[in-house]
Amino acid sequence: MDASLSSVSAPARLAADGEAVSHEELALATRNHGLPLEALRYDVTPPGLHYVLVHYDIPAVDPDAWRLGVDGLVRDALSLDLASVRAFPSMTARVTMECAGNGRARLEPRPVSQPWLVEAVGTAEWTGVPLSALLAEAGVAAGASDVVFTGADHGVERGVEQDYQRGLPLAVATGDDPPAFVAYEMNGQPLPPQHGCPLRLVVPGRYGMAHVKWLREITLLDRPFTGFQQSVAYRYRQTADEPGEPVDRINPRALLAPPGFPDFMSRARVVDAGPVILTGRAWSGFAPVTRVEVSDDDGRSWTDAEVDPPDGRRWAWQAWRATWEATPGDHMLTARAHDAEGHVQPIAQSWNRGGFGNNGAQQVPVHCR
């Protein structure tokens, strides 16, 4: 590590037994807000309620001067202004995005980083240009196997100064399933600053870190990208020194829109006895959700909810609902999702050093009166 940066950029670490969330984690948590869980009622997350995760700063951007480069192993390198990007045939897709660190704060020991509970998720209607169209225009040269996407934001992380960059195999970048695309609109409006204005990558079904914001360069390589966000961060590891497995697809998860009304501090819910309609959303980056179960006794017994089919919106969350006969007393509501490839959401968190891909079931304490 550069000696001048070692004083400001700490290595990854685990919280000590019983160590509270620090001011540093709180600073990250206030910058990077989650979806208020009641916003699960909207199929498309309204502007401002979609979760936000920014590693460094939101960069200063002049959309009129913006250029998207397509270079590396291509026949004709491109430098496109926004009008040229918008001139390609467009596509629109409703896509659920979730941060790979969702669930991290409940792990024990806790990986010290952005302390998400369960709310690092949102669904937007993104409009843009399929990557395959941009790459066809540039002409992919022989030998190209991978693509690296570079954002305009710059920072230092665990001592490594960098532009935010992520790679994808060419087959994923240009495949139809899912179709990766460069978006310039979110919910029918130009991208807001925090979501990547003026351009971002969208890779449906993949955890958030793949969806590079403030996208300024697309570079074709003849080998996999091995930069920090690919090879150091975003790996499933049990120990600090193993290479680990890459974090990639979104694991299945169901979330409940908390019923009744909340207590200000604890967020515990209050409902009246009798039938309560439970609703929520469920998604999986592997395959459509086929089944959601709910429990009012913290996962000891389960009942099936009714789940909406994906209805052509394969990459968006699916609504579900169930009627719960609430009886006086305290209950712990949970839900779990199953997908068409047989992935079942676990009740307990599965631990890894970065706190990634944790889809342990949500717990919603409810007091019924």
Ligand X SMILES: Nc1nc2c(c(=O)[nH]1)N[C@H]1C(S)=C(S)[C@@H](COP(=O)(O)O)O[C@H]1N2
Instruction: State yes or no: residue 55 binds ligand X (CB under 6 A).
Output: yes
336 is a site residue for ligand X (CB under 6 A) = no
Shortest Cβ distance from residue 367 to ligand X (Å)? 33
Question: Cα(290)–Cα(235) distance, rounded to whole angstroms?
Answer: 28
Q: Token pair of 229, please?
A: 């966000």
Residue 102 or residue 174: which is nearer to ligand X going by CB? 102
Determine which residue in the list 99, 180, 182, 183 makes contact with Mo ion, applying CB under 5 A: 99
Q: Which of 212, 228, 233 is nearest to 160 (CA)?
A: 228
What's the closest the beta carbon of residue 96 comes to ligand X, in angstroms?
11
Q: Contact at 8 Å (CB) between 198 and 56?
A: no
Site for ligand X contains 211 (CB under 6 A): yes
Determine which residue in the list 94, 195, 253, 338 makes contact with ligand X, applying CB under 6 A: 195
One of 25, 34, 40, 50 touching ligand X (CB under 6 A):
50
Min CB(122)–ligand X separation in Å: 6
Is position 208 an interface residue for Mo ion (rule: CB under 5 A)?
yes
Cis peptide before 259 (omega within 30 of 0): no
Residue that has been written with the tokens 């970048």 in this structure: 173
Number of helices (H) and strands (E) in the chain: give both, helices first.
5, 22
Q: Which of residues 131-170 bind ligand X (CB under 6 A)?
A: 151, 153, 164
Strand-pairing partners, residue 324, are: 276
By the rule CB under 6 A, 354 interacts with ligand X: no
Indicate whether 206 belongs to the interface with ligand X (CB under 6 A). Answer: no
CB of 264 to ligand X, least distance (A): 26
Of the two residues 74 and 99, which places its CB atom closer to ligand X in the complex? 99
Q: Is 209 in the site for ligand X (CB under 6 A)?
A: yes
* Window of 91-99, 138-146, 258-266, 271-279 that interacts with Mo ion by CB under 5 A: 91-99
- Position 42: which residue type? Y
> Within the chain, where are the H helices?
3-6, 23-31, 82-87, 131-138, 170-174
Q: Return d(Cα 98, Cα 172) in angstroms, integer.
A: 19
Non-local CB neighbours of 128 within 8 Å, separated by 6+ positions: 85, 90, 91, 181, 182, 183, 184, 185, 199, 202
Q: Name the residue number minimizing CB distance to ligand X.
A: 208
Answer yes or no whether residue 53 interacts with Mo ion by CB under 5 A.
Answer: yes
Which H or E run includes 326? strand 318-326
Among 148, 212, 247, 322, binds ligand X (CB under 6 A): 212
